[in-house]
Amino acid sequence: MTLQQLKYVIAIVEKGSINEAAKVLYLSQPSLTKAIHEFFGNYANL
C-alpha cells in the first residue's frame, strides 16, 4: 500500500463516490477506478 493509494481510498470514503473523489483529486474517474482495482487486487488474497 502506498500513501497515494491510501489517499485515494480516503477521498472515496469521504466523498461517497468515485466520481466526486476523482474531481477533488484532479483525476479522471477511469484512472481512479484502475488505481483502486490495483489496490484491492494486491490485498484480495490476505
pLDDT tens readout for residues 2-44: 899 899 999 999 999 999 999 999 999 999 999 999 888 877 6
**pTM of this structure:** 0.83
- Alpha carbon distance, N-terminus to C-terminus of the chain: 13
* Alpha carbon distances (Å) from 3 to 31, 39: 16, 11
Q: What is the structure's pLDDT at 1?
A: 76
